[in-house]
Amino acid sequence: MPELPEVETVKRGLVKLILYKKFIQAEVRESKSVMGDFKGLIGAELVGLRRFGKALVMDFNNDWSLMIHLRMTGQLIWQGEERFAAGHPTEDFVREMPSRHTRVILEFDGGKLYFNDQRKFGFCKVLRTVEVGEDGFIKKLAKEPWGMEVKEFWEKLQRRKNSVIKAALLDQTVIAGLGNIYTDETLFDAGVDPRRRAGKVTRQEAEKILEGARKVMQRAIDAGGSTMATYVRADGTKGSYLEEFAQVFQREGQACFRCGTEIKKNRVAGRGTYFCPRCQK
């Protein structure tokens, strides 16, 4: 699943490529991937792109919107005067579209945006713009690290006191946008072991975790996201976070940059988890 920095990177790329283009029509090739009716968008101009956690929302000038979630294997491929691919990298990035993975084709004046999804977990949803904030998927999202106060964050952690802290951070109703990569990096920055129970995290540690999340994710956004085998920039080039900034993620067996201890990998909250056994208490 993409994390907030990757989706933010995709959003910024799309703004440069399709903003103020008119929506012509949609071809739905997989009904499972669509909710709502694209008829409401026909002839409307795209006037804004927003991100709610890991979901993209396209706003049109007739008070209709389109929400897109790439989930695990989704792609957005634009073919117009320029071509770009964003999302799960496959040979579809360089193939002519549509492919056997194309679920929806969104035609704008000047090009087509292909929504591909191998595993069919992603979706496109058409809804009224005023209903976006009340949508069940978005309404349940917690605030992002930049918009959350320490008191609120700590209280949310206490409600999941029996969960390990990593599982709590992956819960989008606790804090929005963190996934596997940046949760590991955040907990390292804060010096907290990912296996600790959320109820054992002190308010002071919660503050460090929140500060770490802001720092780690801002670095990732500035770097264009991670280079994990799932998400690349909107222009098809890869982000540089892992090479430039990653402290623990995918560094199993290597020396900790902070103390020299060997980075370990464990399975925590059902996910491969990297941490320093000395720096993270």
pLDDT in tens, the chain (281 residues): 557 887 887 888 889 899 999 999 999 999 999 999 999 999 999 999 999 988 899 999 999 999 999 887 888 889 998 887 777 767 887 788 999 999 999 999 999 999 999 999 999 999 999 999 999 889 999 999 999 999 999 999 999 999 999 999 999 999 998 989 899 999 999 999 999 999 999 999 999 999 999 999 998 888 766 544 444 555 666 666 677 788 999 999 999 999 999 999 999 999 999 999 999 98
117 lies in the same domain as 153: no
Cβ burial, residue 130 (10 Å; 0-12/13-18/19+): exposed
120 lies in the same domain as 170: no
Q: Does residue 96 carry a catalytic annotation?
A: no
Cα torsion 156, 159, 162, 168: sign: negative
Of 128, 271, 277, 278, which is the active-site residue? 271
What pTM, to 2 d.p., does this model score? Answer: 0.82
Of 2, 5, 98, 194, which is the active-site residue? 2
Give me the DSSP letters along 236-272: SPPP-HHHHT-SSTT-TTSBPTTT-PBPEEEEETTEE
Q: What are the tens digits of pLDDT across the range 177-206? A: 898 989 999 999 999 999 999 999 999 999
Q: How far apart are CA 261 and CA 257, in angstroms?
A: 8
> Domain for residue 157, yes or no?
yes
Of 5, 8, 54, 98, which is the active-site residue? 54
Of the three residues 139, 157, 190, the one that is the final residue of a domain is 139
Element holding 56 (H helix, E strand): strand 55-60
132 lies in the same domain as 153: no
Q: How far apart are CA 201 and CA 156, in angstroms?
A: 11
> Domain for residue 153, yes or no?
yes
Do residues 192 and 50 make contact, with C-beta atoms less than 8 angstroms apart?
no
- Cβ neighbours around 233 below 10 Å, total: 20
Of 3, 6, 8, 185, which is the active-site residue? 3
Q: Does residue 32 carry a catalytic annotation?
A: no
CATH of the domain at 267: 1.10.8.50
Do residues 166 and 194 make contact, with C-beta atoms less than 8 angstroms apart?
yes
3-state SS track over 96-142: CCCCCCEEEEEEECCEEEEEEECCCCCEEEEEEHHHHHHCHHHHCCC
Residue 46 belongs to domain spanning: 4-139
Q: Does residue 3 carry a catalytic annotation?
A: yes
Question: Domains in the chain: how many in total?
Answer: 2
> Domain for residue 168, yes or no?
yes
Q: Does residue 277 carry a catalytic annotation?
A: no
